[in-house]
């Protein structure tokens, strides 16, 4: 009886300890986000007088209006979506087809191709900034959204092929053989057999690539220079002045800029976690 | 599942590499020969991205459009993006026409690469006739070409709050000893006498102290020579700058290197620190109701024999040499040089800048009137560390000054390292 109750008490203490420490960690994790949200609701005079860390003494929603209208975030958000949505669709379509061919058929050079794609991913993007901007100028697409879409697709596709290849390779060969026996051609096998089986991977990758492309700043400022074409990330640093930064407006802008990715995350939450170990086990 | 010989694979990799290299070299050479566009609106690439400054620029552009002499399209890019992308803009095959930027050695560096349009015709015209000789020199490249049109300038000074100084019973000092006396008194009252704000991403603020001590002790001429690489940072005369700095270092706010300058100005406004060497742009970071309470005094004179110099960075415009709309560009710049354009900008912006046109009205506040007189009394004007040298030299100063603020006793080693780092940039 007493041994039993000691064990019970120990178990309870362990549970309490776990919740306490996990709760503290979660709070610490949320603290910066809370700070941004609180700052986005304060007036500039309040921040200038009491500092960013001071207790809020004002409440205003005007910062969101300033970021949205004066800061040009409305247009920037539209630009971001014009770039991000086609990029995700096209990249995944191309990557899925390439991965299908590379994983399900004995194509010549398939290993070299995969290594080339992997190698491209290992290359730091910084060294390609000048070639990319000069090349887009040469083709005559510099400072247009299609240029940014093209660059994003080009840089994304290698990684997605690599991940999808790993996933598709794990699909048993018998399924494909059965389809062949039933008279399915390669296109039908891809569309009706392999693609439906790859859906979890595609969902996870689309959520990941949406956040990556949406949050990108580097390529945007490399191939664009007109403020009317800049995506949301570039508009966000545009809120920063040359010397003085209005932290309240910047915080409001950050909240606006983060909203779409948070929405995507909440929608695809399940796949996000699944995506973390995609291709990890071969 | 290796089907291929390694030799064959290596051959393919080599093929890809040579192909890419050929493609890259091809585009680098051919992009510089492609033609630039002509006709259409003149593009004005602006780094004034803060909402108020951006709106003021829009007013200026609208006023120019109202003149019906030409068309211009304003393109505002985030200040930080602009700074990093400016070389790319200027060297691109189809560059924007006009840019907001700085005169002096910064513009000269681009002029030396033949990237800037010769504005000699403009400077001979009536619009720029009245501009001061100092500005004229500032806008001239080493080749003798005029490459810049100045618009506004701001100034640096020791800023404080009048009501706080009254409360503490101190008065703005004029001499170095008087300055140290004020510091002493403030310290005894539990106030950090001198705020800094060289933490965060504004380490460059500390350079103001170096600039000012150097122009007070060694003079502006020596200072410019030093930054241009004609003198050495481990020179005994530079050492004297730091000896002076060490006299006042104990009075610096211990949190001076912890936060960015906006945190330091908050401390100044709250009375946690007494005064601060800063540019007038900081007024944008002050709540509207304390603006009237802000005042400044001249950085104390150390050696009366040294000609009085002040830091007053000038902002303005230059144009790309590759523009296909030369006439339109000159017409726009001619307008931007007028008193009317500068007044329009000052009215729309926060109003703490001074117009460069001698007949243009400033915003008329007591602070700005005092600032204008403050600059007019100076014999020499310096720009700021990075503007008098280059953006590449600024990090060497940030590095050296941060080390000095942390370990002032090791100054000899720090100056030797600074000289070594600077040489790499001067010879690059």
Q: What is the pLDDT of residues B218-240, one digit of tens each?
A: 999 999 999 999 999 999 999 99
CA distance B239 to chain A (A): 30
A61 assigned to some structural domain: no
Task: Identify which of B255, B252, B259 has the alpha carbon closest to the alpha carbon of residue B199.
Answer: B259
Q: Is A39 on the interface with B (CB under 8 A)?
A: no
B116, pLDDT greater than 80: yes
* Phi, psi of B311, deg, nearest 5: -90, 120
Say how many residues make up chain A.
282
* A14 and A150 belong to one structural domain: no
Judged against a pLDDT cut of 80, whether residue A271 lies above it is answered with no
Residue A219 has pLDDT above 50, yes or no: yes
- Give the number of C-alpha atoms closer than 13 A to the C-alpha of residue B72, restricted to the C-beta side: 33
Host H or E run for residue B74: strand B72-76
B81 contact residues in A (CB cutoff 8 A): 221, 234, 237-238
**Residue A277 binned pLDDT confidence (cut-offs 50, 70, 90):** low
Using DSSP's 3-state secondary structure scheme, residue B199 falls into coil
Q: Best residue in B285, B288, B322, B386 to probe A by mutation, most A CBs within 10 Å?
A: B285
Which is it for the CA torsion B329, B335, B338, B340, positive or negative? Answer: negative
Model pLDDT, residue B373: 92
- pLDDT for the residue B2: 36
Contact call for residues B347 and B52 (beta carbons, < 8 A): no
Q: pTM here?
A: 0.81
- Range B304-311 average pLDDT: 94
Contact B374, B214 (CB under 8 A): no
Structure tokens at A89: 């669709």
Q: Is A52 part of any domain?
A: no
- What does the block give as tokens for B96? 């924007």
The pLDDT of residue B245 is above 80: yes
Instruction: Determine, yes or no, domain membership for A64.
Output: no
Instruction: Express each pLDDT in B41-84 by its tens digit.
Output: 999 999 998 878 888 999 999 999 999 898 999 999 888 889 88
- Condensed to tens digits (0 to 9), the pLDDT of residues A81-120 reads 999 999 999 999 999 999 999 999 988 888 998 998 888 8
Burial of A3 (0-12, 13-18, 19+ CB in 10 A): exposed
Residue A278 has pLDDT above 50, yes or no: yes
Q: The tokens 């015709």 sit on which residue?
A: B121
pLDDT band at A1 (very low <50, low <70, confident <90, very high): low
What average pLDDT does chain A have? 88
- pLDDT above 60 for A43: yes
> Between chains, do B81 and A70 touch, taking CB under 8 Å as contact?
no
Please tell me what DSSP assigns to residue B260: B
Does A128 lie in the same domain as A252?
yes
Is the model's pLDDT at B35 over the cut of 50? no
A78 and A198 part of one domain: yes
- Which of B24, B285, B290 is closest, CB to CB, to A244? B285
Global ipTM: 0.75
**% residues pLDDT > 90 (chain B):** 67
Which two tokens mark A219? 């390529």
- Do A83 and A16 lie in one domain? The reply is no
> Please, is B382 exposed, middle or buried when counting C-beta atoms within 10 Å of its C-beta (0-12, 13-18, 19+)?
buried
Is the pLDDT assigned to residue A240 strictly greater than 60? yes
Burial of residue B424 (number of CB atoms within 10 Å: 0-12, 13-18, 19+) = exposed
Q: Does A71 touch chain B (CB under 8 A)?
A: yes
For residue A210, what are the domain limits?
Answer: 72-276
Q: Which residue is listed with tokens 């956040």?
A: A211
* Rounded Cα distance, A62 and B284, in Å: 18
Point out the least confidently predicted range of A2-11, B6-15, B58-67, B336-345: B6-15
The answer to whether position A157 is within a domain reads yes
Does residue A259 lie in a domain region?
yes
Model pLDDT for residues A195-207, shown as the tens digit of each residue: 998 988 898 899 8
Q: Given CB atoms, is A116 within the 8 Å cutoff of chain B?
A: yes
Residues A189 and A92 grouped into a single domain: yes
- The answer to whether residue B6 scores a pLDDT higher than 60 is no
The band of A57, judged by pLDDT with boundaries at 50, 70 and 90, is: confident
Q: Are residues A205 and A260 in the same domain?
A: yes
Domains of chain B: 42-153+313-360 (3.40.190.10), 156-311+385-427 (3.40.190.10)
Task: Please report which confidence band the pLDDT of residue B318 belongs to, taking 50, 70 and 90 as the band edges.
Answer: very high
Best probe of the B interface among A54, A136, A144, A227, by most B CBs < 10 A, is: A227
Closest CA to B257 of B406, B399, B366: B406
Tell me, what's the pLDDT at A56? 86
- Any CB–CB contact under 8 A between A66 and chain B? yes
Query: Is the domain of A82 the same as that of A205?
Result: yes
% of chain B residues with pLDDT over 70: 91
Residues belonging to chain B: 428
Do A10 and A110 lie in a common domain? no
Q: For chain A, what is the domain count?
A: 2
**What b/e readout covers A136-172, taking b as 16+ CB neighbours within 10 angstroms?**
bbbeebbbebebbbbbbbebbbbbbbbbbbbbbeeee
Lowest mean pLDDT segment, chosen from A50-64, A254-268, B353-367: A50-64
In this structure, what DSSP letter does residue A67 have? Answer: I
Same domain, A110 and A181: yes
pLDDT of residue A275 exceeding 80: no
Confidence of residue A122 (pLDDT cuts 50, 70, 90): confident
Output the pLDDT for position A130.
86
Give the mean model confidence (pLDDT) for residues B3-23: 41
Mean pLDDT score across all residues of chain B: 88
pLDDT at B285: 80
Q: Do B53 and A137 touch (CB under 8 A)?
A: no
B326-336 vs B339-348: helix crossing angle, rounded to 10: 70
Q: What is the mean pLDDT of residues B314-318?
A: 95
What chain A residue is nearest to B27 in terms of C-alpha separation? A135
Give me the CATH number covering residue A268.
1.10.3720.10
Query: For position A279, what pLDDT does the model report?
Result: 53
Same domain, A78 and A32: no
Residues 239-258 in A contacting B (C-alpha not used; CB under 8 Å)? 239-247, 249
Flag whether pLDDT at B10 surpasses 50: no
- Does the distance separating the beta carbons of A244 and B50 come in below 8 Å? yes
Specify which residues B297 forms β-bridges with.
B158
Positive or negative, the Cα torsion across B115, B121, B123, B128? Answer: negative
Q: Do A9 and A149 reside in the same domain of the chain?
A: no
Confidence of residue A2 (pLDDT cuts 50, 70, 90): low
Residue A66 backbone dihedrals phi, psi, to 5 degrees: -60, -45
CA atoms of B34 and B28, how far apart (whole Å): 11
Is residue A161 in a domain?
yes
Mean pLDDT of B391-396: 92
The encoded tokens of residue B293 equal 């309470």
Cα-Cα-Cα-Cα dihedral sign, residues B102, B105, B109, B114: positive
Residues A106 and A193 in one domain: yes
């Amino acid at each position: 009886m007493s041994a039993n109750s000691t064990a019970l008490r120990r178990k309870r203490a362990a549970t309490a300890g776990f919740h306490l420490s996990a709760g503290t960690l979660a709070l610490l994790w949320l603290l910066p986000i809370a700070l941004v949200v609180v700052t986005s609701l304060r007036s500039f005079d309040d921040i200038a007088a009491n500092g960013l860390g001071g207790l809020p003494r004002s409440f205003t929603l005007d910062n969101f209006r300033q970021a949205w209208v004066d800061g040009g975030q409305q247009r920037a958000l539209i630009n971001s979506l014009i770039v991000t949505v086609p990029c995700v669709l096209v990249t995944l379509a191309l990557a899925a087809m390439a991965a299908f061919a590379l994983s399900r058929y004995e194509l010549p050079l398939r290993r070299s191709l995969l290594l080339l794609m992997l190698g491209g991913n290992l290359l730091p993007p910084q060294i390609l900034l000048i070639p990319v901007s000069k090349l887009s100028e040469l083709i005559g697409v510099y400072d247009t959204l299609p240029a940014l879409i093209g660059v994003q697709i080009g840089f994304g596709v290698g990684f997605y092929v690599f991940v999808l290849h790993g996933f598709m390779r794990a699909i048993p060969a018998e399924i494909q053989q059965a389809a062949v026996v039933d008279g399915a051609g390669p296109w039908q096998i891809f569309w009706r057999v392999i693609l439906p089986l790859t859906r979890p991977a595609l969902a996870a990758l689309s959520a990941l690539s949406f956040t990556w492309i949406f949050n990108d700043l580097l390529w945007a400022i490399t191939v664009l220079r007109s403020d009317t074409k800049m995506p949301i990330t570039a508009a966000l640093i545009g809120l920063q002045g040359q010397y003085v930064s209005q932290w309240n407006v910047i915080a409001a802008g950050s909240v606006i800029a983060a909203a779409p990715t948070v929405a995507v995350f909440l929608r695809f939450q399940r796949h996000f976690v699944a995506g973390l170990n995609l291709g990890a086990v071969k | 599942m290796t089907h291929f010989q390694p030799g064959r694979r290596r051959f393919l990799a080599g093929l890809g590499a040579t192909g890419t290299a050929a493609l890259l070299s091809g585009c680098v050479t051919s992009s510089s020969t492609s033609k630039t566009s002509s006709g259409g609106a003149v593009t004005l690439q602006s780094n004034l991205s803060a909402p108020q400054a951006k709106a003021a620029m829009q007013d200026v552009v609208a006023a120019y459009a109202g003149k019906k002499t030409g068309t211009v399209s304003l393109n505002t890019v985030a200040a930080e993006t602009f700074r990093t992308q400016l070389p790319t803009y200027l060297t691109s095959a189809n560059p924007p026409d006009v840019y907001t930027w700085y005169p002096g050695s910064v513009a000269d560096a681009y002029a030396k690469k033949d990237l800037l349009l010769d504005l000699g015709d403009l400077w001979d015209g009536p619009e720029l006739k009245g501009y001061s000789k100092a500005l004229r020199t500032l806008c001239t490249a080493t080749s003798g070409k005029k490459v810049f049109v100045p618009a506004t300038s701001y100034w640096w000074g020791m800023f404080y709050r009048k009501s706080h100084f009254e409360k503490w019973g101190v008065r703005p000092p004029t001499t170095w000893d008087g300055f140290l006396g004020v510091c002493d008194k403030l310290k005894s009252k539990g106030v950090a006498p001198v705020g800094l704000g060289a933490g965060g991403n504004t380490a460059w603020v500390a350079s103001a102290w170096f600039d000012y001590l150097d122009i007070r002790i060694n003079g502006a001429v020596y200072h410019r020579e030093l930054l241009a690489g004609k003198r050495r940072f481990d020179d005994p005369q530079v050492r004297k700058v730091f000896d002076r700095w060490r006299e006042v270092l104990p009075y610096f706010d211990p949190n001076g290197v912890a936060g960015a300058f906006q945190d330091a100005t908050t401390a100044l406004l709250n009375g946690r620190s007494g005064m601060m060497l800063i540019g007038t742009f900081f007024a944008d970071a002050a709540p509207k109701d304390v603006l009237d309470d802000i005042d400044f005094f001249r950085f104390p004179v150390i050696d009366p024999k040294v000609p009085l110099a002040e830091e007053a960075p000038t902002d303005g415009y230059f144009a790309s040499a590759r523009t296909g709309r030369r006439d339109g560009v000159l017409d726009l710049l001619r307008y931007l040089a007028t008193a009317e354009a500068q007044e329009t900008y000052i009215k729309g912006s926060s109003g703490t800048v001074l117009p460069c046109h001698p007949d243009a009205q400033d915003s008329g506040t007591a602070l700005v009137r005092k600032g204008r007189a403050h600059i007019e009394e100076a014999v020499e004007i310096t720009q700021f560390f990075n503007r008098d040298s280059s953006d590449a030299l600024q990090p060497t100063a940030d590095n050296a000054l941060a080390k000095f603020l942390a370990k002032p006793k090791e100054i000899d080693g720090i100056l030797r390292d600074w000289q070594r780092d600077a040489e790499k940039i001067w010879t690059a």
